Structure 1
C-alpha cells in the first residue's frame, strides 16, 4: 500500500508579500549605491593619474602608449616613418661554446655581405658587440638555430620607412642610436623625440601620391636618357608648401649602404647648378618692373653674336633678325637677354637676385642646404651673362621659389616641408609688381604654346614655363657635351597654383629624345607627364575651354617670315 504525502500550500497574506518586496528593493538599492561608489572611486583614481602622475621612468599610465619617436606622415596621414620593435643580433664572446672559426663560417653563410674576417673579429673581441642591427626575422632564426648561448637577440626600437625609397631625401634617416641624421629626421629631432609632442605624428606638406608620380616620371626619363641623375620639385605658389621633392639617384633609408654617399645628397637643396635660360624670365620681369622694358614690341638686334670685353655671346640657334620681348623668350635668345640685362644694370640685377634669396642658402627647414656660388666681380660681363643664367650657381629650390613669386602676383615666400593646414601662410614680401607678374604669366604661357617649351603643353592644364640648357663647368672652362637640362613651369597659368621644376643632369641625346640633349626634348616632356597625372590629385582638372589671354601678344610673333 502506497502512502501519498502532500505538502500543504503556503498561505501568505497581502501584507507579508508587500514586506518581502520592499526588503528586496532595499537590498537592490544598496547594491546599486555600492557599485556607483566603487565606480566613482575608480574614476577619481584615473583622473588623478591623468592630471598629476607624470611618471618616473617606470612606464606610467600616461606614457604607456606614447612612441619613443613620433611618426612622420604625409599631408593626408599616410605613414612615411614610424618606430617599431625590431630584433638585433649580438654576440658575447666570453659565453661562446663553439669554436669561433666555425661560428664565423656559419655567420658568413647567413650574412654573405659581411666579410668572414670581420665576423671572426667580432667573435673574438674583448667585449659584447652587435653582429647585425635591424636583423630580419629569418636571420634571427638562422643564428638562433646555431645553438650557441653566446648569441642573444635584444629587442630594440627600429625606425621603419614603409614606403621604402619614396621621398627618401625629404625624410632622411636615423643612426644606430635612433637619432635623426638628415632630412626631416635630422631637422626636427627635438619635435620627434620631445615627450610633449612625440605622441602626435609630424604631418609633412608632401603628398605621397604626387611624390610617387614625380619620382616615377623623372626616374623613367633619367633611365631612358642615360643621365647621371636628376631633381624635381612641386611647390604651392601661394603657401610655399612642398608637395613633392625628389633627387636621383636615390636610396632606401631602411637599408643604408656604405659608400653610397652620392645617392644620399639631396640635389634639390644641396647641389648647385648654373640653370641657364630659366633665368631669362626673371631678368625680363625685373626689366619690366624697373621701366627698362616698357613695350612688348620693343626690338633688339639678334642678327649677330654680341661682342663684349673680348667675349662673344651667341644664341644656340641664331634667328638672324631683330627680336621683340616675347620672341626673345620664345626663342630663348642669349643675345637679346644680355642686352636687356645690360640696360637693367649691375645694381638692379644684383638687387633682383638678392630679393630672390640667391645670395644665401635656400629657405627651407632641412639642414642639407648649399650656399650659392655668387659672382666675385659684378662687372658688366657678369651682369650680362647672369641675365641668362651663367656665372651664378644656385639650387633647384632657389629657382622654384623664384618662379612661385614670378607667377603668384609677385610675392616671395620661403618653402616649407610642413603641412600648414589651417595655419595662415607666411605673409611674404613683394619682389615683383602684380602687373609684372600678370605679364610674365602671359609670356611663360607663350613659351609653351609657341616656343621651346611645346613638349610640356599638357592639354587643358594651361602650362607655362621656360627651358634651360646650360653647359656644366669643368677644368679649363665649360664642357660642351655635359648639359644640365631644366624646365621650370607653373600651372594653370590663368590662375597659377603650383610650380613644377624638373632638372636632368647630363642627358644623352638618343632615340628617346630624338638625338637632342636640350631641355625642350628632355625635361619638358617630363613636366607634361607629371602635370597630366598629378594635376587631378592636386585638384586641378583639365579644361580646354579656358586659357591665358595672350591676344595682345600673338600679333607680335614672327611666323612664316612675317608677323601675325
Structure 2
C-alpha cells in the first residue's frame, strides 16, 4: 500500500513537473517584456512632455522687438499755402516697405519676386540687407498704393509696411525753387521748406509736438496763378529763343512781397531726381550775373540824386572813351551830345560812364551799397548768393560797372533795388511771406528822394515809348522799363554773340504797384535776320507777363489816361 501510494505520487509528480516548469518559464519572460514596454512608454512620454513644455515656453516667450523708426507724428509738417489760401505743399500718407531679415526664408527668391513690382530695386544692396541678422531694414520708402497691393499679393514672409508722411506738391514744378524740398524723413532741406524747419519746426518734431492738428498753415506771399503764368512764359521763351535758361520775378513794389518767381530749367519736387543738376540752379536768387544795361537805372538815379547832375543836363557821346587798351563805345551810337533822357533811352555807355564819373568812385560804390547791391540779400529763402565786386575800385571799374559790367549780383537783388528807384525811393527787403504795407514801411529805408524816384518813373515810361522797351508796353497798363544786354565772358573775353539779357519794368509806372524783371541766358535770334538783344526777347517776355498777370492782380486798365511820359515836376 505504501509502495503504491509512493508510486502514485511519483507519477503525479512526474506528470505535473513538466507543466509546472513551462508555466514558471512563461511568467519570467512576460515580466521582462512588460518592463521594457513601460520603459519605452516612459521615454516617449518624456519626449512629448519636453516638446510640450517647449511649445508652451515658446508660446509664452515674447518675440524680439522690431526696431521701427520713432513715432510718425514727429514728421508732420504744416501746409504751405499761397496768398489766397491755395495749397502749395501738404502731407499725405504713404506706405514704406521694410523687412525682418531673420524671418526671410529664401533671400534670392524674395528679391526676385520684389523685382517684378520694384524693377529699380538695387539687387546687391537688397541682398546685403536681407542676408543679415538685423531685426529691421528698410527696403523701399514711399510706395504707391498700387505697389503696396502688388507686394502684398506676392505673399513673401518677413516683409511689412509702415505708414509714413510724404510731402506732396500739387503744382509739381510750378514753384519748385521757392518751395524747395524735403528729404525721405520729411525734413526740409531747401527753399521755404528748410526755412520753416529753421523757425522751430525741427525742435517741435524732436519733442514729438508737431502733430498735424497743431500746425497752422504757413502763408506765402506768392500768387499761384501768377506763378503759373510766369513759369509758363519762361518755358515758352527758352523754346522760342533756343536759350540756355530763363528766369523772372514779379515783385510788389509797395510791400516787397515776391508775388511770383521762377527759374527754368527747374525740377519737380514730387520726384526731385535732377534737383541738384547744375542747370537746375535757382538763377534768380542763387546765381550772380553781370546785369548789363539794367544797371544804367542805378547809375542814372545815383547821378540825379547826388544833385551833381540834372535831368536837363547833356553829355557828349560823340567819341568812344579810352582807358589804356580798353575802349568804351555805344552799341548803336548817335555820335552826338545826348541829354540825360537820351542817354537812358538810347542806352549810351559813353553817357552813362560820364555820369558815373561826375559822382566819383567812392560815391558810386557808396550808392550801390546803399541800395543793397553789394551785400548778400536778407530774405527767408536760404538759397541766396553773395554779389561780387572788384577787390579795389579804380576808375575803369567804376566806368564799366556804370553800365553793368565788372560786378555781378542776383537778379532778385536787382529787382529789389529797381523797385526802390520807382516806388518813391524806399528800399524794402524782399519777403516770401505775406506782408502788409504797414509792415513793409516799418522795415523800409529811404535810399533816394521822392523827386529822384519821380524822375526815374518818367525815364522808364519814356523808354517804353521811344526807346528799347517799346515791345514791353501793354495798352492800358502804362508800362515803363529798361533793357539790359550783357555780353558774356567766354574763354576769358567778352563775346559779341553770347549774351545774358534782362528787362526791368514797373506798372502802372505813374504810381507803380508791381515790378517785373526777367532774364534770358544765351538767347538766339528768333528768326534769321534779327539780332538777339534784350529789346527783341526779354521785352516781349515782360509784355506777355504783364498782359496776363495784371488782371489777376487787380490792376485795372486805364485806356483814358494820358499815355505819354510826363515829368510833373523837376523842382
Residue 111 of structure 1 pairs with residue 126 of structure 2: no
Aligned to 1:334: 349
Q: Secondary structure at the residue paired with 2:338? A: strand
| Count of residues paired in the alignment | 489
Higher mean Cα deviation, 313-322 or 396-405?
A: 313-322
Q: 1:108 to 1:262 in 2, by over 3 A?
A: farther
Which of 476, 480, 500 is equivalent to 1:484?
500
Q: 1:124 to 1:304 in 2, by over 3 A?
A: farther
Q: 1:440 to 1:125 in 2, by over 3 A?
A: farther
Q: 1:331 to 1:107 in 2, by over 3 A?
A: farther
Aligned to 2:82: 74
Residue 278 of structure 1 pairs with residue 294 of structure 2: yes
Q: Secondary structure at the residue paired with 2:97? A: strand
Q: What is the alpha-carbon distance in structure 2 between the residues aligned to residue 551 and residue 254 of structure 1?
A: 50
Residue 433 of structure 1 pairs with residue 449 of structure 2: yes
1:489 Cα deviation from its structure 2 partner: 0.7
Aligned to 2:378: 363
Aligned partners of 1:493 and 1:548 also within 8 Å:
no
Aligned to 1:528: 543
Q: What is the alpha-carbon distance in structure 1 between the residues aligned to residue 252 and residue 275 of structure 2?
A: 35
Which of 404, 408, 424 is equivalent to 2:423?
408
Residue 344 of structure 1 pairs with residue 359 of structure 2: yes
Which of 241, 244, 250 is equivalent to 2:266?
250
Q: Secondary structure at the residue paired with 1:154? A: strand
1:423 Cα deviation from its structure 2 partner: 5.8
Aligned partners of 1:401 and 1:415 also within 8 Å:
yes
Higher mean Cα deviation, 310-319 or 376-385?
A: 310-319
Q: 1:258 to 1:411 in 2, by over 3 A?
A: closer
1:547 Cα deviation from its structure 2 partner: 4.2
Q: What is the alpha-carbon distance in structure 2 between the residues aligned to residue 198 and residue 390 of structure 1?
A: 51
Aligned partners of 2:379 and 2:429 also within 8 Å:
yes
TM-score by length of 1: 0.82
Residue 372 of structure 1 pairs with residue 372 of structure 2: no
What is the correspondence of 1:22-421 to structure 2 with a 5 Å cutoff?
A: 68-100=76-108, 102-124=109-131, 127=134, 128-189=136-197, 190-192=199-201, 194=204, 195=209, 199-257=215-273, 260-262=276-278, 264-296=280-312, 298-421=313-436
1:250 Cα deviation from its structure 2 partner: 0.8
Q: What is the alpha-carbon distance in structure 1 between the residues aligned to residue 338 and residue 150 of structure 2?
A: 73
Aligned partners of 1:210 and 1:244 also within 8 Å:
yes
Which of 489, 507, 521 is equivalent to 1:505?
521
Q: Secondary structure at the residue paired with 1:153? A: strand
Instruction: Provide structure 1 residue ranges, at least 5 long, that are not aligned to the other structure.
Output: 1-57, 554-564
Rg comparison, structure with higher value? 2
1:176 Cα deviation from its structure 2 partner: 1.5
1:175 Cα deviation from its structure 2 partner: 1.1
Aligned partners of 2:255 and 2:437 also within 8 Å:
no
Higher mean Cα deviation, 493-502 or 104-113?
A: 104-113
Residue 537 of structure 1 pairs with residue 552 of structure 2: yes
1:482 Cα deviation from its structure 2 partner: 2.2
Q: What is the alpha-carbon distance in structure 1 between the residues aligned to residue 318 and residue 549 of structure 2?
A: 42
Query: What's the C-alpha RMSD, in Å, of the aligned pairs?
Result: 2.4
Residue 459 of structure 1 pairs with residue 475 of structure 2: yes
Q: 1:547 to 1:382 in 2, by over 3 A?
A: farther
Aligned partners of 1:108 and 1:119 also within 8 Å:
no
- Please list the CA deviations of residues 305-327 of structure 1 after superposition, one character each: whole Å capped at 9, or x if unmatched: 21123210111222222211111
Q: What is the alpha-carbon distance in structure 1 between the residues aligned to residue 438 and residue 142 of structure 2?
A: 38
Instruction: Provide structure 2 residue ranges, at least 5 long, that are not aligned to the other structure.
Output: 1-69
Q: What is the alpha-carbon distance in structure 2 between the residues aligned to residue 181 and residue 236 of structure 1?
A: 27
- Please list the CA deviations of residues 40-93 of structure 1 after superposition, one character each: whole Å capped at 9, or x if unmatched: xxxxxxxxxxxxxxxxxx99xxxx9x9922111001100111112211122333
Q: 1:202 to 1:263 in 2, by over 3 A?
A: farther
Q: 1:214 to 1:126 in 2, by over 3 A?
A: farther
Larger helix fraction of residues: 2
TM-score by length of 2: 0.81
Q: What is the alpha-carbon distance in structure 2 between the residues aligned to residue 548 and residue 305 of structure 1?
A: 35
